[in-house]
Structure 1
C-alpha cells in the first residue's frame, strides 16, 4: 500500500473499516496505520522499532505521540491509539467474533456483527452537552476512545488504558518573555511543517486571537501569498468580518469572504446533520462548512484551524468566572460564616434587592463543588426532567451520568490547579468531543484536509509549563498568550471582545418561512419518537415565537439536528 491508499478492510483479529489515512507501512508481521500528525516515514519506522522493543508499552515513551492502528499478525493483537488531545476519533465495538473499529461510527455499525440500536443514555447526554460525549456513542454497542488513550485487543479481550497525561509543571526555564518567543517560533515552525504549497494551503480566519495567530504564521511561511477564509452573517451583532480584515491588512493575506444567509442554512442543514456519524448540535458547524466549501472552491486542499488556543492558554470567560468563586474559599471561615448567616436573616423584602440577591447567589455558586458549578446554567439543571422527557424513557436514564463524566475527567490530573483542571477537562469536552469533531467533519464533507497548529504537542507541552497565574492573570484572560503575541498581532485583535462563529439561527427563524418549516417540521417529527413529551416540544416553539428568540432558537437547533440526524440515517 502507498501513503495515499484508503484502508477499507482488515481481516485478522476482527474487522476494521477506516477512512483514508496519512500513512500506511507494513514490516514483517506488523501493519501500522498512522493518522495525522505523522511527520514522515522515518517517524513510522521509529514507532515500529519501539513497538518491537517494548510491545504494547511503546506508547508510554513516544516523544511525538500520534493516532495509530497497529495490527500484529504474529501476536494476534491489535492496538488502537489516539493522540494526546484527540485530534481524530477511533470507534470500536467488541463482537462475538472479534473487534470492529474505524475512524467513524458509521463504518463500525456497517459491519453485520454490530447492532445499530440507539443508546437512550446518549440521547439524554446529547441534550445535556449538545453532542454525544466519549467514551459512549449514540449506538449502544459502539464506544470511542478519548484523547491519550489506547486499546489493546488480544485473545478476545479488550483493555483500554490511558497512556498519556499532562504534567502541569507551572514552571518555565528562563522567563516568560523567553517562553513567549518560544511560542511564536513553535507556531511558525508548526505551520511550516503542516503546509504543502502556497496554492493549495489556506487558513480559517474569524478575526479572533487564535485564527489570526495561525493566519499570521502562514503569512510568515508564504509572505504576501497566504490565503485566508472568513465567514460573515448579515445580522448586527453576529458579524466580525471587520476584525478578520484587520488581520488581513496586517499580514497582507489573500482574503476570501462569504456571508451565510438563511437560504444557505435551509440548503445545508439536512446534509450537515446526516453527515455527522452521531447527532451533533453545535450550530457553528454551518459556518465551518461554508468556510471549508469556500476554500475548496478556491483550490485549497489543506486548511489550518485556530482551534485550541482558548483551552490551552485560558481564553474562555468561564475560567475567570470560576476563579472569582474560588476567592470566596480563601476568606477566613468565621468571615464567610458571618456573611452567610447575615444574608440568611434578612427579611424577604430586603433579600430580594439586587445586592443581597447577587451576594446570596454568588455564595451558593461558590459553595457548589467543582466541576458541578460549571454546569449551573445547563438547561437540564434548570428544568425538571419529567417536564421534558417521557416517563418510560426517563426511567432508563441515569441523569447523574453527565456530571459523573465531568467529575472523573476534572479529577484525573495529579497536582493540578483549579484552572489547569478546567483546561484539561475542556481538552475532552470542548475540543475532542465537540470543536474538533465540528471542523474535522465539515472539512471532510467538502474534501479538504485540516490541521491545528496550536495543538501541536510541543505547544501543548509548553502551555503545561506556564504558571496558572500567568495564563489567567486576575480576570485577564490569556494574559501570557497576549503578551507573547503583542508584537505579532494588531492591538485591535489582542484586545477585541470574544465572539467566534456564532449563528443568528434564532433571529432568522422568527421570520424566514422556509427555515421555520424545516425546523418546526423536524420538531413535529420528533414527537413521534419515544424521547420527549409532545407538550414540551410545543412549548419550545411557542417560547421561541413569543420571547427569547436567540435562547430558544439554540434549543430548537439542538432538537432539530437530532431529528434530522435520525432522518438522514434512515432511523
Structure 2
C-alpha cells in the first residue's frame, strides 16, 4: 500500500516537485520512499510496507530498466502471477506483488489489468515508446487524480499533490460543485478543481505523443442468469466469501477487522475466524445516543468468536478534528459517517496495520431499505405526461409550505410518483434537489449552471445497465456511482489518514460478478433485504444479528447541529469569508440554519455547505504547505 505521484513531460521534469508531491502524502506511506528520474519522466512513491516488508521497494522495473512502475494497492493473486511469470522466463528480484506489474506489461500490454485480482492504482512508464499507462482498479478502491496539458501529464493519489505544481489550475469547478450538492460527493471523472480529473473505476489512461486517451476496461455485467437451486447458490456464496477473505488475510504486519455489528462486517469476521487459529482483533465505534449505537451487536459477534475487541465512543466535543478531516479529503465530502470512520481507523491503527471490512455487501446483495421502497414503487407506473407536472407542483407545494410532518411526507410522495423510475432513485439519493439548489445559488452561479442536470449521471448509469428489472438496475446504479464516489472514498481517505490499509472481501470482483447475475428476488423479496446473503451466513452468526434491521453508520447530526455544533455551523457559514465567496445567497444559508433550529430537517444540507466551506479554508493555501491542520 502506497501513495504515488509523477510527472511526464516532453519539456523536461522537475524531480524536486515530484519529491514534494510525495512528501505531502507521507501519511499514505510512512515506511519509505522511492523515485525514478529521467529527462522526460519522474515517478515517485511513499510506501506502507505490508507484504515483502524488507524487499518490496519501489519504483520497480523490468530486467533492462526500460519499463518502470509505481503502484498503490494490493494484488491478492500475486503468488499465481509470480509463478506464471517465472515459468515464462522473467527474473524477479523481490517476493512481493509490485514487481509483477512491469513483467505483466511486457507479456500483455494494457491488458495486464485483466490478470489482476485486487485493489490498485498504478503508473507504468514505457521508456522506449515514451508512453505512460495509468490504471485504476475495477471498483474504485484506490484513487488516482490527473492533469494534462499539451506537453505534459501529472498524476497523484491525492489532489493536494497535484496542487503543489503551479501549472495546475486552482479554480473551483462549478459543475463539480453542482454535482456535490446533489450527491454529497464529487463524482468521477470530475474533481472540485478546474482542469484536474479523477480516473474513473475500471478505466485506463494512456499518455502518448502529447495526447491522453481514457477508456473503460471493466464493467459489472448484471445480466441475470437462471437459478435452479437456491441452496446451492447459498453454498457458492459461502465458498466465494471464504476465499475472498482468505486471500486478503495475507500480511506481514498485524491484521484486524472493522466490526460495526451489521451483517456484512460480522460475516467477514466470521470468515476470518474460520480460517485462522489466531485471535482476531476487532474494532467498533459507538455513540452515547442509543439510536445510533451498534456496539451491543458488535460485542455479541466478538463474544461469539472470542475476538480481541476494542471500542471508542464519538461525542461532539471531539469534532475539533473537522479541519484535519477536510484537509485529508481534498474535495468537499458530506457523508457524515466519515467522522466515525475516521475514529475507528485511528483506534485500529493503535493495534494493527491492516483491517478487513464489510464494504460492498449492501450494493451487491440489496441491503438498503430504499431497495424495498423501489421494489414496491416500480409496480406503480409513472404518471402520464399530462398528469406528472401537476403531481410534481402539488407535491412541491405540500412539501415546502406545510408545517405538519404528515403533509410534508405526502408532498414528497406525490413528487416521487410523478417521476420515472431512475429519477425516483435519484431523488432518494439527493441532498439538495434541483429546486433547492436554484433557491440557494447566487444569481451568477444560477445562470452558469442553469442547463446542468446532476441527475443525468444516474440516468446514464441506469440506461447502461444490463440488468433484467428496474430494481436490479437500481442496484447497478449504486455500484457504479454511490459505492465508488462515496463509500470507498470515505474508507480509503479515513484509513490512509492513519496509515492503515483497508481490504474489502465483499468487493472481490469475482464475488461481485457472481452476485451480479443473481435474480434480484434473491436479494430483495417483499420487505426482506439481502435475502440470499442472510441465509448463506445465518449459521455463522448469532440469531439477533441475522434478523436485526439494517442500521446505517450514522451520527446524531441533527441534534448536534441544534446543540453542540450550532455555533460552529452559524459562525462558519455566515461570517464574512463565507458570505463573500459569491456561490450562495447569504440570506438563503441563514434561512436554512434558522429553519433547522426550529425543527425542520436540514442537517444533511447544512452539513454539505459546512464541509464545502471547511474544505475551502483547509485548501486555500495548499501550494504553500505540506502539513495538515
Task: Pick the TM interval, shorter chain.
Answer: 0.7 to 0.9
2:545 aligned residue: 493
1:348 aligned residue: none
Q: Which moved more, 1:88-97 or 1:382-391?
A: 382-391
Describe the shift of the 1:138–1:361 C-alpha distance in structure 2 as closer, same or farther (beyond 3 A). closer
2:354 is the alignment partner of 1:302: yes
2:17 aligned residue: none
Q: Give distance in 2, aligned partners of 1:12 and 1:177.
A: 60
1:518 aligned residue: 568
2:500 is the alignment partner of 1:448: yes
2:169 aligned residue: 115
Describe the shift of the 1:502–1:355 C-alpha distance in structure 2 as closer, same or farther (beyond 3 A). closer
The answer to whether the Cα contact below 8 Å between 1:522 and 1:560 also exists between their aligned partners in 2 is yes
Describe the shift of the 1:453–1:11 C-alpha distance in structure 2 as closer, same or farther (beyond 3 A). farther
2:256 is the alignment partner of 1:202: yes
Q: Shift of residue 249 of structure 1?
A: 2.0
2:532 is the alignment partner of 1:480: yes
2:323 is the alignment partner of 1:270: yes
Q: Shift of residue 455 of structure 1?
A: 0.5
The answer to whether the Cα contact below 8 Å between 1:66 and 1:81 also exists between their aligned partners in 2 is no
2:88 is the alignment partner of 1:43: no
Q: Shift of residue 410 of structure 1?
A: 1.9
1:394-442 deviations in Å (ceiling 9; x for gaps): 2222553311222122222335432332222212322211111111111
Q: Give distance in 2, aligned partners of 1:294 and 1:74.
A: 47
Q: Shift of residue 16 of structure 1?
A: 5.1
Q: Give distance in 2, aligned partners of 1:295 and 1:183.
A: 28
Q: Shift of residue 194 of structure 1?
A: 1.9
> 1:256-267, aligned counterparts within 5 Å?
256-265=310-319, 267=320
Give the one of 27, 33, 42 matched to 2:70: 33
Q: Shift of residue 565 of structure 1?
A: 1.0
1:502-558 deviations in Å (ceiling 9; x for gaps): 11122123232xx3332222112422211110001111221121113xx32332222
The answer to whether the Cα contact below 8 Å between 2:160 and 2:330 also exists between their aligned partners in 1 is yes
Q: Give distance in 2, aligned partners of 1:244 and 1:414.
A: 37
1:469 aligned residue: 521
Give the one of 288, 293, 305 matched to 2:346: 293
2:232 aligned residue: 178
Q: Give distance in 2, aligned partners of 1:516 and 1:468.
A: 43
Q: Give distance in 2, aligned partners of 1:199 and 1:20.
A: 13
Give the one of 115, 121, 124 matched to 1:62: 115
2:585 aligned residue: 533
Describe the shift of the 1:318–1:426 C-alpha distance in structure 2 as closer, same or farther (beyond 3 A). same
Q: Give distance in 2, aligned partners of 1:108 and 1:329.
A: 48
Flag structure 2 segments of 5+ consecutive residues without an equivalent: 3-28, 50-55, 86-99, 392-397, 622-629
Describe the shift of the 1:230–1:315 C-alpha distance in structure 2 as closer, same or farther (beyond 3 A). same
Q: Give distance in 2, aligned partners of 1:532 and 1:357.
A: 25
Describe the shift of the 1:205–1:181 C-alpha distance in structure 2 as closer, same or farther (beyond 3 A). same
Give the one of 29, 33, 38 matched to 1:6: 33
Q: Shift of residue 74 of structure 1?
A: 1.2
1:183-205 deviations in Å (ceiling 9; x for gaps): 22332332232225698211111
> 1:154-553, aligned counterparts within 5 Å?
154-171=208-225, 175-196=229-250, 200-223=254-277, 225-265=279-319, 267-297=320-350, 299-329=351-381, 365-366=416-417, 368-377=419-428, 378-381=430-433, 383-398=435-450, 400-414=452-466, 416-512=468-564, 515-524=565-574, 525-548=577-600, 551-553=601-603
Q: Give distance in 2, aligned partners of 1:7 and 1:475.
A: 53
1:347 aligned residue: none
Q: Give distance in 2, aligned partners of 1:243 and 1:109.
A: 43
2:614 is the alignment partner of 1:564: yes
1:257-276 deviations in Å (ceiling 9; x for gaps): 111111112x2112111211
1:451-483 deviations in Å (ceiling 9; x for gaps): 111111221122123222212223321111111
TM-score after normalising by structure 2:
0.80
Q: Shift of residue 115 of structure 1?
A: 1.4
Aligned residue for 2:433, secondary structure, equals: helix
Flag structure 1 segments of 5+ consecutive residues without an equivalent: 331-335, 345-350
1:210-252 deviations in Å (ceiling 9; x for gaps): 1111122222234461111111110131112111112112222
TM-score after normalising by structure 1:
0.88
Moved over 4 A (4+): 2-5, 7-19, 21-24, 44-50, 196-199, 354-364
Q: Give distance in 1, aligned partners of 2:504 and 2:581.
A: 38
RMSD between aligned residues: 3.2
The answer to whether the Cα contact below 8 Å between 1:187 and 1:217 also exists between their aligned partners in 2 is yes
